[in-house]
Structure 1
Amino acid sequence: MHTPDIYLRSIGVHLPPVVSIETAVAEGRYPADDVEYFRLGGAAVAGDVPAPELALRAARHAFERSGGMSPRELDVMLYADVWHQGPEGWQPQYYLQQHLVGGDVLSVEVRQGCCGLFSALQLAAGYLRPGGAALLVGADNHGTPMVDRWRMIEGNVVGDAGCALLLTTDTGFAQVRSVNVVVLPEAESVNDGGVPLFPPDATVGRPLDFASRHRGFRNRLLAGDGAGVMLSIQSTLMGLVERTLKEAGITLDEVARVAFPHGRWDNLEERLSWLGLTMADTTWEYGAGIGHLGVSDQFVALDHLLAGGELAAGDYVLLVGVGAGKTLACAVLRILDIPGEYASDGAA
């Protein structure tokens, strides 16, 4: 989707303190034998701070950085998440409506796995009219009895965060040049684990364990059932990146940095080889220190690049999403200028 009139006005981030891998090993939470190979640094852990509160703090941060925008200027708010947010039968966007934006703004929860913020970005781009503004928020706190953040995904750990994007149709520090989200329904079995669809996991206390689900899929792959799915994921991702770059009017050689999900390095290295990229082109090292943040990885990483002085005006940034479904996403942003607060607040 070509999006020439969508701008990123500001990014807000709330990242809780990081618990190191060394601490997790000492407490018996993370396997010591995995430390050397997987090279992870730790996970951001929110404790008992609810995910909607993480979202609210990030949203307030985004408005503080916006140069004077008010929540009253919003036309739509989209709230993306992957994990349970609060009481069953309740939706988390209500919390932000009560404490920040009020009830006159169309507010919708978006659940499309780890690509949720990409989906929110594409939806907002299609919704906004000239003079419009949107708030996209993503938040997750995985620290619940049904999740073991240190072992749930082999080769990775899961962190908590809140992230907020303020979009406008007139001005911002970055232009959203293109965004696309696609789903491969034939890859749905990669993450389903072969467990019953009913009753839902949460209603029977079944833990979320992607490690065992992925092992089961790999076993099916070795048995000859699934090779076509993996090839489909590879070809679709490559095609998606090519289409998004073409819509943005650039080639991959013109991209300054690339942000992928905060996943295991060997999986990422394989995907990079498909595209002719290296680990140095990515934000993997930063992500390895804070964990996989659900919906927020690429946008928190973008904030980190800006805060660290690793981007300049005129640079293009490629954001790539991979989620359950199997969902694939891609966006291209062009940095127009570096906001002054990145030199002073050190928020990332």
Structure 2
Amino acid sequence: MRFDTPVHLNAPVHALGEHAQPVADAVTGLLIDEENAERYAYTALRTSTHAPVELAARAAAESCTAAGTPPHRIAQLLHAWTYHQGHEFWSPAHYLAQRIGAVAAEPVGIQQMCNGGLAALVQAACRLLATGSGPALVTTADCFPQPGFDRWGGDYGVCYGDGATSVLVDRAPHGRSVRLLSAATVAAPVLEGMHRGDAPFSPAPTSGVKTLLPKLAKKEFLTAHPALPFGPIAHDAVTSVVTRALRDAGVGPDDGRLRAAALPRLARHVMADAYEPAFRAVCAAPVVRLGADTGHLGAGDAVANLSDLLDRDDVRPGDLLVLLSAGAGFTWSAAIVEVNQP
């Protein structure tokens, strides 16, 4: 998908959990063993005592201030998440609109698991161009506290940190921003059972009643489908979305303007063995590893990565950045953005 009409991502912000839990403490507390701690290479995970939507409200207020956009001008608020937001029968997007004063916004929830942040950006951009309405605010938020979630050892190849993100999608640049040139998405619903496993459907949420362990569902799924080529499917998906995003943006794989690429905040060995080889097969942009001191931020990795990339001293106006996102289901997305003049 090519965005010929200018669409800008303004004032990307990430509000991390207020505490950092060092990996050494997690090893001492038997939350992760030394072998996996070394393989995963996280130095710390961010944790919070706040509800995720409270972190999102903080990030949203910061984005609006930084972009000089009054909340009452926001036409749509899209909120993405992967895990419990604080209440069960409830709309967190509406809470955020009320909390920050986006009184004219249409609040919408986006549920595409960890790909939700980038999916929400694309939805906001398409709506903006189709309706000519005012700016959209895209937020994400996830927290993974015990006893409901085992952030250090509950999954394979990833540890989970608490945090929220926010970015304004508008037709004009305001403040620290990038122009969205293109986006591409590939889905593989054949893998949806990887986060469902063999467990029967439950009549009510079980969050907090038992600890959520995604790795058990993955083990059950892979045991039941031993011939399913998850690795090749993921490899092909990454190469496909990156190739399509570059093509739609009119950018060659070795374009000299490609300054940096940011991938999901997964464990180091997962990135080195799977994601980075697939990415480097089709794009020469240097891969910047982010998130070692935060953990995977659920739906927020893409916007958090954009925020971190714009903080780098070597990123300048006119540079191109590549954002790669992935989420259970499975869905992979890539976006090409160009850094604006400040």
* TM-score normalised by L of structure 1: 0.88
Whether the aligned pair in 2 keeps the contact of 1:142 and 1:149 (CA below 8 Å) is yes
The CA deviation at 1:94 is: 2.3
Flag the 1:168–1:329 CA change in 2: closer, same or farther, 3 A.
same
Show the counterpart of 1:24. 26
Within-5 A mapping of 1:55-134: 55-66=56-67, 68-128=68-128, 129-130=131-132, 132-134=134-136
Within-5 A mapping of 1:203-282: 205-220=209-224, 223=226, 225-227=227-229, 229-254=230-255, 255-269=258-272, 270-276=274-280, 281-282=286-287
What whole-Å deviation, never above 9, does each CA across 1:106-164 have from its counterpart, x for those lacking one? Answer: 01111110010111111111111446311000001111422011111233210011100
**Letter of the structure 2 residue corresponding to residue 157 of structure 1:** C
Q: SS in structure 2 opposite 1:328?
A: strand
Whether the aligned pair in 2 keeps the contact of 1:272 and 1:279 (CA below 8 Å) is no
Show the counterpart of 1:314. 318
Task: Return the alpha-carbon distance in structure 2 between the equivalents of residues 52 and 279 of structure 1.
Answer: 37
Whether the aligned pair in 2 keeps the contact of 1:13 and 1:62 (CA below 8 Å) is no
The CA deviation at 1:91 is: 1.3
What whole-Å deviation, never above 9, does each CA across 1:239-289 have from its counterpart, x for those lacking one? Answer: 1211111111102223221111111222222222123269993232x3122
Task: Return the alpha-carbon distance in structure 1 between the equivalents of residues 27 and 275 of structure 2.
Answer: 29
Q: SS in structure 2 opposite 1:188?
A: helix
Show the counterpart of 1:155. 157
What whole-Å deviation, never above 9, does each CA across 1:278-320 have from its counterpart, x for those lacking one? Answer: 9993232x31221000011122122122223241111111111
Show the counterpart of 1:197. 201
Q: SS in structure 1 opposite 2:254?
A: helix
Whether the aligned pair in 2 keeps the contact of 1:191 and 1:210 (CA below 8 Å) is yes
What whole-Å deviation, never above 9, does each CA across 1:304-338 have from its counterpart, x for those lacking one? Answer: 2222324111111111111110111111111122x
What whole-Å deviation, never above 9, does each CA across 1:78-100 have from its counterpart, x for those lacking one? Answer: 01111111222111122222221
Task: Return the alpha-carbon distance in structure 2 between the equivalents of residues 20 and 207 of structure 1.
Answer: 22
Q: SS in structure 2 opposite 1:288?
A: coil
Whether the aligned pair in 1 keeps the contact of 2:186 and 2:240 (CA below 8 Å) is no
Whether the aligned pair in 2 keeps the contact of 1:142 and 1:159 (CA below 8 Å) is yes
Show the counterpart of 1:343. none
Show the counterpart of 2:42. 40
Task: Return the alpha-carbon distance in structure 2 between the equivalents of residues 306 and 265 of structure 1.
Answer: 22
Whether the aligned pair in 1 keeps the contact of 2:194 and 2:221 (CA below 8 Å) is yes
Gap runs ≥5 in structure 2: none
* TM-score normalised by L of structure 2: 0.90
Whether the aligned pair in 2 keeps the contact of 1:12 and 1:65 (CA below 8 Å) is no
Task: Return the alpha-carbon distance in structure 1 between the equivalents of residues 46 and 118 of structure 2.
Answer: 22
What whole-Å deviation, never above 9, does each CA across 1:9-39 have from its counterpart, x for those lacking one? Answer: 2112211232110121222322223222222
Task: Return the alpha-carbon distance in structure 2 between the equivalents of residues 49 and 252 of structure 1.
Answer: 42
Whether the aligned pair in 2 keeps the contact of 1:3 and 1:176 (CA below 8 Å) is yes
Flag the 1:2–1:29 CA change in 2: closer, same or farther, 3 A.
same
Task: Return the alpha-carbon distance in structure 1 between the equivalents of residues 51 and 333 of structure 2.
Answer: 27
Indicate yes or no: 2:186 matched with 1:182: yes
Counting aligned pairs with the same residue, the percent is 25
Gap runs ≥5 in structure 1: 340-348
Whether the aligned pair in 2 keeps the contact of 1:40 and 1:156 (CA below 8 Å) is no
**Letter of the structure 2 residue corresponding to residue 27 of structure 1:** G
Q: SS in structure 2 opposite 1:226?
A: coil
The CA deviation at 1:220 is: 4.7
The CA deviation at 1:175 is: 0.3
The aligned length equals: 332
Task: Return the alpha-carbon distance in structure 2 between the equivalents of residues 189 and 274 of structure 1.
Answer: 23
Task: Return the alpha-carbon distance in structure 2 between the equivalents of residues 130 and 111 of structure 1.
Answer: 25
The CA deviation at 1:184 is: 1.2
The CA deviation at 1:201 is: 5.1
